[in-house]
């Protein structure tokens, strides 16, 4: 299976996807075929802030056409903010799209998570991840929500995280667990690993990027197994 990623939104998340895919596929012994198409984080941010679904769908369609021309079989978007136009995009896409929110919904059902705290971009927080999490109740940071959103965007744009920024995000997660009774906190921004990977919060954390990568592996395993069975015949 040839995976196409729409990346660059932001660059650190794209690098994290690449590294994680190489590691997970390698440990599983599944061949990795990957092409990455670079998208513009500024355009995505502007369209998401306006919820301009048509404009961003056109942008993603152009990237998907390029990925199809490169021989890709399935597409993933490396930014959860980019999922705001997902229902429309899936309707018009020339390739199947493996959505990160589908993997998150399945994880919450499988593990009995009923209330989930969200950390991510301003548009993700304001919309509760665009209403795409149908299987779980979501909560967002209280009084500090604007600071959390701005901090996340700063991290995504520069591809780095200071100790102070990490402290702010981890504290926001703790507030949702303690005050809003979230069962876990979702890193609903794929650059948030920069803040959390070296830390060990006192609450359960769900990494959306990891769930998405595992979904790609499971899909590739199924495709690889069916092809191997065909060759045996």
Q: Give φ, ψ of 199 to 5 degrees.
A: -110, 160
Q: How confident is the model at residue 228 (pLDDT cuts 50, 70, 90)?
A: very low
Q: What is the pLDDT of residues 36-84, one digit of tens each?
A: 999 999 999 999 999 999 999 999 999 999 999 999 999 999 999 999 9
Q: What is the DSSP string of 137-167?
A: EEE--STTHHHHHHHHHHHHHHT---HHHHH
Burial 37-63 (b: 16+ CB within 10 A, else e): bebebeebbebbeeebbeebbebbeeb
What would the pLDDT profile of 153-199 be if each residue is shown by its tens digit? 999 999 999 999 999 999 999 999 999 999 999 999 999 999 998 88
Backbone dihedral angles phi then psi of residue 10, each to the nearest 5 degrees: -100, 180
Q: Which residue segments constitute the domains of the chain, with CATH numbers given?
A: 2-100+210-232 (3.40.50.1860), 101-208 (3.40.50.1860)
Residue 36, SS3 per DSSP: strand
C-beta of residue 137 within 8 angstroms of C-beta of residue 120: no
Report the predicted TM-score, pTM, of the whole model to 2 decimal places: 0.91
Q: Sorting pLDDT into bands at 50, 70 and 90, what band is 233?
A: very low
């Amino acid at each position: 299976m040839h995976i196409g990623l729409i990346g660059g939104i932001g660059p650190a998340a794209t690098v994290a996807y690449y590294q994680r895919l190489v590691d997970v596929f390698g440990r599983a012994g599944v061949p990795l075929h990957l092409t990455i198409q670079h998208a513009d984080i500024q355009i995505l941010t502007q369209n998401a802030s306006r919820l301009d679904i048509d404009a961003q769908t056109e942008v993603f369609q152009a990237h998907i056409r390029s990925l199809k021309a490169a021989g890709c079989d399935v597409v993933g978007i490396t930014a959860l903010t980019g999922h705001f136009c997902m229902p429309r995009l899936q309707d018009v896409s020339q390739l199947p799209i493996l959505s990160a929110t589908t993997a998150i919904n399945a994880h919450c059902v499988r593990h009995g998570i009923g209330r989930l705290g969200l950390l991510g971009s301003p548009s993700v927080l304001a919309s509760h991840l665009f209403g795409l999490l149908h299987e779980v109740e979501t909560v967002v940071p209280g009084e500090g929500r604007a600071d959390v959103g701005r901090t996340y965007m700063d991290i995504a744009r520069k591809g780095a995280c200071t100790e102070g920024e990490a402290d702010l995000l981890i504290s926001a997660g703790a507030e949702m667990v303690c005050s809003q009774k979230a069962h876990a906190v979702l890193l609903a921004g794929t650059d948030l690993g920069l803040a959390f990977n070296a830390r060990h919060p006192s609450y359960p954390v769900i990494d959306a990027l990891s769930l998405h990568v595992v979904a790609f592996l499971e899909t590739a395993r199924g495709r690889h197994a069916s092809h191997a069975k065909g060759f045996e015949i």
